[in-house]
Structure 1
Amino acid sequence: MPPKHQPDFSFLRHVPLRRVHLFTLVQIVCLAVLWILKSTFLAIIFPVMILGLMVVRKLLDLMFSQHDLAWLDDILPDKDKKKKEDEKKKKKEKKTIEPESDEECC
């Protein structure tokens, strides 16, 4: 899908699309491994595999930058994050506009 047709998610603004796809692939593989494990006689070690996911998460630090992981692995819902970003932009614009208008008046 071309970038102009993608939804306006904040993580897509900050992380390259290939990195997003790679992160999603890692998540799908982990889900598949857990699902297969749960369906076999090895289901008894399922709790240990949950701990294994923590190891996978630490290995992601080697594959992704901290900036990318901060955007991809964030727990704050996108709609709330977008509102906060928009508010910050408005405050910055307002601060830059106010001094200019004062100088023009006086």
Structure 2
Amino acid sequence: MKVLIVDDAAFIRVTLKMMLEKNGYEVIGDAANGSEAILKYNQHKPDLVTMDITMPVMDGISALKAIKKMNPAAKVVMISAMGQENHVREAVMAGANGFIVKPFVEDQVIRGLSKLQ
């Protein structure tokens, strides 16, 4: 399964990449904001996107909506910090396929993503 990782924090991108590759996922790219995410989604056509909610330039919910408009079948899992319940609801309404809450642990991430295969 090809994955695009979207998060403004480089250490989160690196951490997720290591977790996913260790568990058999192919990370085909990463992006630091929603605008980059849309470009890379178009370019690489991943099977799955992990999307941070709070990012500069374009937030994850706006990017989610744009990706879902391009491909209604796109699988996007939102990643958010504790206490962002209002964003979680908005993302579900925009078509998010799941959620991972920061700080996350490897088992939680892999379990959450494996449901979408």
Q: Same fold (TM over 0.5)?
A: no
Shorter-chain TM-score tier? under 0.3
TM-score relative to the length of structure 1: 0.27
TM-score relative to the length of structure 2: 0.26
Q: Which has the larger strand fraction? A: 2
Structure with greater Cα Rg: 1
Q: Which has the larger helix fraction? A: 1
Q: Which has the higher contact order (CA 8 A, sep 6+)?
A: 1
